């Protein structure tokens, strides 16, 4: 006898959910939405009660946390799933996670949890193992079954991004980990508590397996408090509306919203195929030594994708040609892909009354086995697969923006590029106190890409989280005792240029202050010198690279003690060093992630990210816009002239006639130095035949040519013999 309706088992209802959709094309086979049709006002009241309950759980519970990412940067989510695992409603926050819970429930059903360890009122389950649904081990899930009169009617779920996962690198976003054993503390679905209380042994795991026990134990308590309070609210709602209404209502929410999403695509987009590419790199060569020989190399990560907007309004995303799985940190599983990429779907078409898993019913994926997002090695490292998946958020931003542009819905375009930086920190203070932490403020707040009708807004969006919030610098400084912020600001010229330019990237500069016995910093970033996107929009330039600069052993303290001005970002810091106003013994620069870098008192740590792409030809940019940029200091005179062909006088006014002439000359230069595509193709084909590329490029092509779709495209373009291969 099972715990679900009609005494069915959890596995039976999960299987029925999948079969009924496959057979009918409607979620739960619902051709009619009876409750919606009979009393829409009542249904709306019902749905809004569910939404309010989730938001209430989040807003109350987060006060228990001490983790700044949860408290003030919105890196958490509370949600309600039905018994089958479909998420019906969620709070604000990390919205993408609603995609994962159906996978978790399916997995615990298949694992027979109903029999062992059993699923009972008050049980607490925990999971952060990506093989079973969560996207990576930094996102820790806690969930409770909700029973009503002995029937499993729902799950309440809470999760947040923890500060440190106990991996080979400090923090939650490590960029070195050859396998699951170096990823850190990873737990498959586990019953960790009963009677609405965690077992005492569970706390020991946080204390012994991670570096930030204080944050992580409180985060766990926060999640339990949230799901327990949500559990009680849901029981009240079932009591009020009745079990039949509740059970049926949750299913109708999913089917109704599936229909809304499909109709939105049909009414705003254009059916067809849209190509996307972003590149990044994993650079392990020389880092891991002899311990992991298969990891002693570099990879160019080939994030290719094709969005198929099908005539029925559903979407198929084809990742054939994606880099193969490898012994690095960047592998991932389908739930992670669906989770993070949904963050490109919410703003583009999936906004409805609430966020829920209706997306699962209108989006299909082809993720080839053996690719890095469908690893066949069960011990694949996944600690930062999300860093690579994040590039695919923008597949939806950019492909759908092009579709909306073509359909005439320019105001719905929302292009973006993959650029972002976070960092982890760990150290031992002078008195022996060991600590670790991290900051994601350049991830949780970014600028916007240019659209076909305006420049990207600055510091206005967050791709991984609909609730953008850069957080409070003071709170981050309090929790990261060695990091003193000297500046956090927009950086002039730091954008992809175009007729409309991208929003400016944000930079910050920190002073390392009294780290004591030791401190290491490691930055996670998105671009790796490959740019923020491989494609510009409509002739605009794509966003540029993320930047990390360490200046070691500086004399910045002398400058600060004197008073007066001091550098506030990497541009100013480098300028000060160049001009001799600041001394630094060594300077390390990166265009992407860094290994763990030891730092000492007086070092400077600069990061900058979020340089988003432009739209349209730079030579068509309105002179008034350029003049405005000069006025506010967003674009320098040099860039106005070099990039935009605008001559600017001493007062910052664009000289229009002189600029017209300069633009004419620049167009002539385009004419003189470009060649016909055919001539370019002939030259390029010779190089392809010679295979005379950088080792990393050769490795990338060698791998990707194993996938037929990319191989056909590549050999077709260059007219290569059938046996063309790269060793």
Partner 1 sequence: MKPSDTGFSKENFELLIDGKLPWEEVKKAIRLSPKDADRFEKYIEILQEKMPWEDRILLRISDHLYIVAKPGGERGVTGGDRGVTEGDRVVKCDCGQEFGDYRINWKLSCRVYVRATDEAIAEVITIPEARHNTDLVEMREFYCPGCYALLGVEVVPPGYPPIFEMFPDLDSFYREWLGSPLQDEHPDWFQERTSEKPAAWIKEA
Which residues within the stretch 605-644 sit at the binding site for partner 1 (CB under 8 A)?
611, 615-620, 622, 636, 638-639, 642-643
List the strands of the sheet with 151-161, edge to edge: 87-90, 76-82, 151-161, 139-148, 124-127, 190-194, 197-198
Comparison of 196 and 409: residue with beta carbon closer to partner 1 = 409
Is the CB of residue 487 less than 8 Å from the CB of residue 567?
A: yes
Shortest distance, position 655 Cβ to partner 1, whole Å: 20
Does 487 help bind partner 1 (rule: CB under 8 A)?
A: no
Range in contact with partner 1 (rule: CB under 8 A) among 18-26, 99-107, 406-414, 553-561 = 406-414
What CA–CA distance (Å, rounded) separates 629 from 407? Answer: 31
* Minimum CB distance to partner 1, residue 370 (Å): 22
Site for partner 1 contains 381 (CB under 8 A):
no
Stretch that binds partner 1, among 323-331, 472-480, 651-659, 713-721 (CB under 8 A): 713-721
Tokens 């206005």, residue located: 460
If one asks whether residue 574 binds partner 1 (CB under 8 A), the answer comes out as yes
- Judged by CB under 8 A, the residue of 500, 524, 550, 634 near partner 1 is 500
User: Hey, which residues between 408 and 437 contact partner 1 (CB under 8 A)?
Assistant: 408-412
Distance in angstroms (rounded) separating the CA atoms of residues 348 and 309: 13
Smallest gap from Cβ 696 to partner 1, in A, equals 6
What sign has the CA pseudo-torsion 22, 26, 30, 32? negative
d(CA 86, CA 145): 13
| 694 contributes a contact to partner 1 by CB under 8 A | yes
- For position 461 contacting partner 1 by CB under 8 A, the verdict is no
CA–CA distance, 188 with 331 (Å, rounded to integer): 17
Binding to partner 1, residues 527-566 (CB under 8 A): 528-531, 533-536, 538-542, 544-545, 547, 549
> Smaller CB distance to partner 1: residue 562 or 678?
678
300 binds partner 1 (CB under 8 A): yes
List 359, 701, 703, 707, residue binding partner 1 (CB under 8 A): 701
Q: SS in 3 state form for 14-54?
A: HHHHHHHHHHHCCHHHCCCCHHHHHCHHHHHHHHHHHHHHH
Q: Which long-range contacts (CB under 8 A, 24 or more apart) does 374-379 make?
A: 374/325, 374/333, 374/334, 375/325, 375/331, 375/332, 375/333, 376/325, 377/325, 378/131, 378/180, 379/179, 379/180, 379/181
Sole binder of partner 1 in the list 474, 716, 723, 727 (CB under 8 A): 716
Question: Least Å distance between CB 284 and partner 1?
Answer: 16
Burial (0-12, 13-18, 19+ Cβ within 10 Å), 150: exposed
Would you call 320 exposed, middle or buried from its count of C-beta atoms within 10 A (0-12, 13-18, 19+)?
middle
- Nearest to partner 1 of 193, 616 (CB atom): 616
Residue numbers 649-688 binding partner 1 by CB under 8 A: 667, 670-671, 673-678, 680-682, 684-685, 687-688
Q: Interface residues for partner 1 in 228-287 (CB under 8 A)?
A: 266-268, 270-275, 277, 279, 281
Least CB distance to partner 1 at residue 497 (A): 6
Span of 31-39, 171-179, 420-428, 522-530 interacting with partner 1 by CB under 8 A = 522-530
By C-beta, is 152 or 269 nearer to partner 1?
Answer: 269
Residue among 360 and 372 whose Cβ is closer to partner 1: 372
**Does 578 sit near partner 1 (CB under 8 A)?**
no
Shortest Cβ 515–partner 1 spacing (Å)? 25
Distance CA 385, CA 394 (A): 16
What is the C-alpha radius of gyration for the chain, rounded to an integer number of angstroms? 26
């Amino acid at each position: 006898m099972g715990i679900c309706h009609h005494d069915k088992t959890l596995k039976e209802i999960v299987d029925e959910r999948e079969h009924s959709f496959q057979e009918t094309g409607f979620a739960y086979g619902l051709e009619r939405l009876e409750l919606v049709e009979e009393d829409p006002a009542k249904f709306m009241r019902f749905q809004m009660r569910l939404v309010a309950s989730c938001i209430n759980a989040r807003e109350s519970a987060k006060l228990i946390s001490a983790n700044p990412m949860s408290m003030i940067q919105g890196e958490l989510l509370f949600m309600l799933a039905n018994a089958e695992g479909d998420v019906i409603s969620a709070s604000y926050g990390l919205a993408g996670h609603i995609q994962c819970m159906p996978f978790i429930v399916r997995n615990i059903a298949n694992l027979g949890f109903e029999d062992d360890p059993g699923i009972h009122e008050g049980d607490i389950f925990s999971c952060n193992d990506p093989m079973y649904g969560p996207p990576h081990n930094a996102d820790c899930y806690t969930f409770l079954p909700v029973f009503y009169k002995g029937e499993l009617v729902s799950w309440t779920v809470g999760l947040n991004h923890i500060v440190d996962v106990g991996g080979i690198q400090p923090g939650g976003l490590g960029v070195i980990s050859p396998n699951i054993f170096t990823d850190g503390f990873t737990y498959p679905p586990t019953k960790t508590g009963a009677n609405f209380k965690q077992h005492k042994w569970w706390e020991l795991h946080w204390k012994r397996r991670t570096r930030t026990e204080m944050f992580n134990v409180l985060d766990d308590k926060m999640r339990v408090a949230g799901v327990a309070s949500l559990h009680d609210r849901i029981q009240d709602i079932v009591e009020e509306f009745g079990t039949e209404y509740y059970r049926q209502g949750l299913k109708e929410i999913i089917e109704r919203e599936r229909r809304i999403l499909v109709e939105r695509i049909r009414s705003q987009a254009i059916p067809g195929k849209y190509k996307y590419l972003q590149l990044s790199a994993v650079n392990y060569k020389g880092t891991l030594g002899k311990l992991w020989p298969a990891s002693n190399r570099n990879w160019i990560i080939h994030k290719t994708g094709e969005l198929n907007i099908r005539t029925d309004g559903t979407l198929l995303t084809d990742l054939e040609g994606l880099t193969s799985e490898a012994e690095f940190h960047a592998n991932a599983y389908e739930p992670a892909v669906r989770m993070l990429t949904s963050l490109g779907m919410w703003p583009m078409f999936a906004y409805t009354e609430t966020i829920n898993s209706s997306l699962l019913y209108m989006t299909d994926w082809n993720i080839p086995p053996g690719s890095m997002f469908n690893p066949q090695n069960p011990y694949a490292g996944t600690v930062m697969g999300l860093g690579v998946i994040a590039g695919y958020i923008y597949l939806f931003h950019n492909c759908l923006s092009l579709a909306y542009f073509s359909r005439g819905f320019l105001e719905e375009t929302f292009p973006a590029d993959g650029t972002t930086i976070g960092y982890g920190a760990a150290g031992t203070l002078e008195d022996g106190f060991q600590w670790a932490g991290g900051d994601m403020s350049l991830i949780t707040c970014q600028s916007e890409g240019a659209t076909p009708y305006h420049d990207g807004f600055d510091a206005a969006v967050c791709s991984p989280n609909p609730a953008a919030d850069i957080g409070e610098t003071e709170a981050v400084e309090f929790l990261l005792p060695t990091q003193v912020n000297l500046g956090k600001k927009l950086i002039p010229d730091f954008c992809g240029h175009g007729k409309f330019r991208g929003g400016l990237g944000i930079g910050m500069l920190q002073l390392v202050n009294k780290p004591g016995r030791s401190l290491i910093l490691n930055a996670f970033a998105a671009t790796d010198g490959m740019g923020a996107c491989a494609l510009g929009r409509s002739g605009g330039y794509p966003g540029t690279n993320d930047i990390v600069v360490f200046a070691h052993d500086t004399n910045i303290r002398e400058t600060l003690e004197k008073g007066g001005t001091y550098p506030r970002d990497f541009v100013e810091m480098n300028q000060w060093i160049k001009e001799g106003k600041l001394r630094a013994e060594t300077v390390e620069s990166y265009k992407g992630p860094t290994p763990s870098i030891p730092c000492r008192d007086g070092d400077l740590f600069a990061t900058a990210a979020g340089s988003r792409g432009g739209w349209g030809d730079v030579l068509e940019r309105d002179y008034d816009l350029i003049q405005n940029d000069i006025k506010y200091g967003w674009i320098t005179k040099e860039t106005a002239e070099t990039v935009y062909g605008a001559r600017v006088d001493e007062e910052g006014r664009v000289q229009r006639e002189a600029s017209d002439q300069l633009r004419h000359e620049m167009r002539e230069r385009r004419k003189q130095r470009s060649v016909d595509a055919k001539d370019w193709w002939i030259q390029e084909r010779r190089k392809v035949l010679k295979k005379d590329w950088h080792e990393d490029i050769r490795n990338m092509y060698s791998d990707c040519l194993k996938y037929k779709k990319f191989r056909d495209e590549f050999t077709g373009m260059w007219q290569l013999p059938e046996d063309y291969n790269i060793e």
